[in-house]
Amino acid sequence: MGRRDYLTQTELMVMLAIVRLGEDAYAVPIATAIHERTGREIATASIYAVLERLEDGGLVESELGEATAMRGGRAKTYYRLTNTGLAQIRETRHALQQMWRGLPRFKGRPT
């Protein structure tokens, strides 16, 4: 992730989906998990771009699964968090909790 020491919202959602999916964490189920939980549709290509950025930053690591006939002989790439990635999620959660703490109640109707 280069010089940046924070996660974008999409990066955080992808990482949380990886935690939720466990050993079944590859791009399509990650996108599905995000959609099911948030209602947001993220293109699979965008998921791959985020995963590549996270892997380059040492926050996730990947492993190729077995090639299958259903996928035309291609293997799935499975992802898991590194210890650094888990620490980054915890740090992000703490920062967001601190920002919400003591915030006055919102007035008016949501837009």
Q: Where are the domains of the chain?
A: 9-100
* Per-residue pLDDT at 39: 96
CA distance 33 to 42: 10
CA distance 39 to 65: 29
* Per-residue pLDDT at 16: 98
Does this model's pTM top 0.75? yes
* Per-residue pLDDT at 69: 63
Burial category of 34 from C-beta neighbours within 10 Å (exposed 0-12, middle 13-18, buried 19 and up): buried
At the topology level of CATH, where does 9-100 sit? Arc Repressor Mutant, subunit A (1.10.10)
Q: Which residue has the tokens 């210890």?
A: 83
Q: How far is CA 27 from the centre of its chain?
A: 10
Q: Write out the chain's pLDDT in tens, 111 residues.
A: 445 678 999 999 999 999 999 999 999 999 999 999 999 999 999 999 999 999 999 999 999 987 676 666 678 899 999 999 999 999 999 999 999 888 887 666 665
CA distance 7 to 19: 15
| Orientation of helix 44-56 relative to helix 9-21, angle to 10° | 90
